[in-house]
Amino acid sequence: MKVFKFGGASVKDAEGVRNLASIVQCYPDSLIIVVSAMGKTTNALELLTKNYFNGDTESRLQNISTLKQFHFEIIEKLFGDLSDDINHEINAEFKLLEKRLKRSPSLDYDFEYDQIVSFGEILSTKIVSAYLNFSGINNKWMDIRHGLRTDATWREGNIDWALSMLLQSQFNFAENRIYITQGFIGATVTDQTTTLGREGSDYTAAIIANILNAESVTIWKDVPGIMNADPNKFEATQKLDMLSYREAVEMTYYGAKVIHPKTMKPLVEKNIPLYVRSFMEPDEQGSVICSIDHVMNYVPVFIVKDDLILITISPLDFSFMGEESMSEIYKLFAQYRMKVNLVQQSAMNFSVAIDRPERGFEKIIADLKRKFVVHYNEGLELLTIRYYNEEVIQKMTKDRSVFVAQRTRTTARFLIK
């Protein structure tokens, strides 16, 4: 059995869905295909969630109308006059979504986020599954929430591995050669939908592969493979044909967007290779992440994270920044679920770079100011260079303001503007 994952860019329109079908048709293997929400649907559902939570009825109705038009246009182009059955199914999902939005929201934004944004994957997988069957590629649609259980950490669900293994072992995967299911989502033991973190479909594919002892995982993307830099930000990028599991973990930790950060651990445990290939050039080999027992000579790898905030914290009484103060600060960051990217400490200063939070930044600053002097800078970039040399450092930081610089044997990091 192999696990394929197709992201939103690969099914952003009718042509993308047809292309997915043509790729799947080339594989006689048993497949579990994990599909993300179509195109920018997740972004649209996030906006819908904000409007719903803020009581903006007019914008909410416009959001729903736009989402319907987008999905039904794809259906019309795929099925033509034979779209009654899938139209009925997708209409039923939109009715469920609209029913939910007629209720008053709870006080927990993250809970509401998971219940609403998860519709994107349900819609996309129902359309893809129906089109494959329509094209003669027999498959079975599967609701991953019945076999992937998490705790109730909304937007960052933690997998209940024992229960998920038990539930998935009860599926009869020998019944069909191809299964279509959702990425990014799971459910609690009380059947409340959860999500696994933004771009979490890669992680879903890895979890399924681990539980079912799959032969491999293939992530189909709009790039030739894993590149040494984002082609949208850098010129003359190079493809990395092979990476070790460890190197992939390092890259994702520093912010490389090609793979979700949690993806590697389930694969390493079972020594399952991960392939990254282009859905636009499916005959090309792409990149592979696997167990490597020899030293690799990598070219410099560039990773950029945008829109970071640097917070510098100092004691009010000129005392040292000791363990007690540090513990209090980290506890506060954990409480607000801040994403920490870089840390630097001196005798009287503690500096930390965080992702700009969607909500709550002003509150955390106010809480910190009760006991500390706090300064912060917004709109910064975090540049990470793996396998750096002085030439590339000078080139990348020239004419930029450097707020923080750190170097280890293999990695240089610069917080810049």
- pLDDT tens track for 264-273: 999 999 999 9
Domain range list for the chain = 2-290, 301-416
Q: How confident is the model at residue 214 (pLDDT cuts 50, 70, 90)?
A: very high
pLDDT at 64 (0 to 100):
96
Q: pLDDT tens digits, residue range 150-204?
A: 999 999 999 999 999 999 888 878 788 999 999 999 999 999 999 999 889 999 9
Pairwise CA distance, residues 3 & 16, whole Å = 19
Number of alpha carbons in the 13 Å side-chain half-sphere of residue 47: 14
The pLDDT, as a whole number, for residue 261 is 85
Q: How many CB atoms lie within 10 A of CB 376?
A: 16
pLDDT of residue 359: 80
pLDDT of residue 385: 97
Q: Which residues pair with 330 in a beta bridge?
A: none
- The pLDDT of residue 70 is 98
Express each pLDDT in 287-335 by its tens digit: 999 999 777 788 999 999 999 999 999 998 888 888 888 889 999 999 8
For residue 413, list its beta bridge partners.
Answer: 384, 406
Give residue 355's pLDDT: 93
Number of Cβ within 10 Å of residue 31's Cβ equals 20
Give mean pLDDT, residues 110-116: 97
Q: What average pLDDT score do residues 123-131 get?
A: 98
Q: Which of 137-141, 243-247, 254-258 has the highest mean pLDDT?
A: 137-141
Query: Is a pLDDT exceeding 80 seen at residue 397?
Result: yes
Q: Are strands 372-386 and 301-315 parallel, antiparallel or unpaired?
A: antiparallel
Q: Give the global pTM.
A: 0.92
Cα dihedral: 153, 154, 156, 162 (round 10): 50
Residue 313: phi and psi, rounded to 5, are -120, 135
Percent of the chain with pLDDT over 70: 100
**Buried/exposed 230-268: b ≥16 CB within 10 Å, e otherwise:** eeeeeeebebbeebbbebbbbbbebbbebbbbbbbebbb
pLDDT score at 199: 85
Residue 25 banded pLDDT, cuts 50, 70, 90: very high
| The CATH number of domain 301-416 is 3.30.2130.10 | yes
- Asked: is 2-290 a CATH 3.30.565.10 domain? The reply is no
pLDDT in tens, 32-76: 999 999 999 999 999 999 999 999 999 999 999 999 999 999 999
Q: Would you state the pLDDT for residue 360?
A: 81
